[in-house]
Amino acid sequence: MKKPLLVMFSGKGGSGKTTMARTIAGEFHMPYLDYDTLVQPFLGAIESAYGLGDGDRYAFYRVWREPCYQTLLAPTLENLGLGNDMVVSAPFSSEVRNRDFPARLQELSPRPFTMLLCHMAPPDDQHFQMLEERNSRRDEDFLHDKNRFLQVYRTERPAWDDSLILILDSGNFDRNKHIIEERILSLRRNSV
């Protein structure tokens, strides 16, 4: 029986993970879940109705982080359990720093699956420009202070086993897409 494939896209805000994930999901006809699409309407409604609480926007999001990721990962694992390949995009900032996260995810899944992490890490100047073009309220604090951007958006190498990771740091969409396509095709050929 073929193992389903989970392709995860991670990276800092505005790094191109959503655009690339949608492209790959469409090309390979794989179901796609996006963190922002699933949770931002709820977070926006909570923030609007109840305010940010005692902290700033980032403190507010830290409080809600765990249930938001559960909202993303529960249907992902359910689909993998049904044998469906999946594409998922989210920052996964804590998860990529946790060497044990892939094993933990495997333990939570009702069936074994193959995993690939596509970590989007464009060059700093290009990433800053991508944030400017995105023009999101969430990026306002960084767009007015490039030094703060460089501190907060500094790319960290994921702590996962190298065999599970593609670091996509060229900033070239077509080149990155080709690298991902080749790896997916290889994983599908070898997935038993």
Q: What structural domains does the chain harbor?
A: 5-190 (3.40.50.300)
Q: Quick one: what percent of the chain has pLDDT higher than 70?
A: 89
Integer Cα distance of 132 and 140 in angstroms: 9
SS3 13: coil
The pLDDT tens digits for 68-127 are 899 999 999 999 999 999 999 999 989 999 999 999 999 999 999 999 999 998 887 777
Q: Which residue has the higher pLDDT, 185 or 56?
A: 185
Q: Note whether 181 and 87 are within 8 A (CB).
A: no
Kindly provide the residue ranges of all beta strands, DSSP E only, lying in 20-170, ordered along the sequence: 32-34, 86-89, 114-120, 165-168
Examine the pLDDT at 28 and tell me if it is beyond 70: yes
- Regarding pTM above 0.85, the answer is yes
Give the pLDDT of residue 40.
82
pLDDT confidence tier of residue 11, bands split at 50, 70 and 90 = confident
Q: Is the dihedral of CA 12, 15, 19, 21 positive or negative?
A: negative
13 has pLDDT over 90 = no
